Amino acid sequence: MILGLWVAVIFLILLLLGCGFLLLGILRRVELLTWRVEQLEYRTPRRIGRDGLRPGTVAPDFRLPNVRGSESSLSDFRGKEVLMVFTQEGCGPCHATTLELKHFQNPDRKILIVHSGSQESGEELLEAVGGVNSEVLLQPDSGLSKKYEAFVTPFLFAIDPAGVVISRGIAHTRQQIQFILDGEGQHLSPIPIPLEKKEHHPAEQATVEVS
């Protein structure tokens, strides 16, 4: 009888664990679908520069000053995965995103923040992210944003060790950043540009457009 009771208890525990894993999977799927819908909202109505470079595109190389007082280029980090984040000064969502980046520190990954703003605000970002594998570069104009078709911030790119874009998207939470690193950003569908001229809309509260 005792043996039967133990078997029943073990069966119940396994059943609960199975239900727990199933529930976690469902919750992740719901959050992923919600994130994809948000990507459409942030990029609608479509204007050039909202979609970001398509996955499979070789990431354009560049050289920019960093907040440490020297210069850095994307090719400096060839052989490592790069998580590239476009931010700008005064962007509240950008600050929230950079605070989550510290959870993605990895010896084989470089966190590269391309910041449109002052030296002081760039230094604050570097302090928030921390880690020896993080770098904040100062973008003096929107030239690099144009190359990467990323005029809404915070906009992220996951770039593989060979320098190829594997995923991209707007991210505000830790889970959304993980979606991009997992390659979910390669499934974002481009939005057709309407033929008729659209009235200009102000930037959404959840994102800030690069000036």
Instruction: List pLDDT tens digits, range 142-171.
Output: 899 999 998 889 999 999 999 999 999 999
Mean residue pLDDT of the chain comes to 80
**Residue ranges per structural domain of the chain:** 1-189+205-211
134-138 vs 109-116, strand pairing mode: parallel
- Asked if pLDDT for residue 134 goes beyond 70, the answer is yes
15-34 pLDDT, tens digit per residue, is: 666 666 565 566 556 566 66
Q: Are 76 and 50 in contact (CB under 8 A)?
A: no
* Residue 109, pLDDT above cutoff 80: yes
pLDDT at 44 (0 to 100): 56
Highest mean pLDDT among 10-14, 24-28, 40-44, 170-174: 170-174
Q: In terms of CATH, what superfamily is 1-189+205-211?
A: Glutaredoxin (3.40.30.10)
**Rounded-to-integer distance, Cα 174 and Cα 186, Å:** 18
106 or 48, which is more confident?
Answer: 106
Q: Which of the two residues, 13 and 3, has the higher pLDDT score?
A: 13
pTM: 0.73
Query: Where do the H-state alpha helices sit in the chain?
Result: 2-42, 92-101, 119-129, 143-148, 174-181
DSSP 131: S
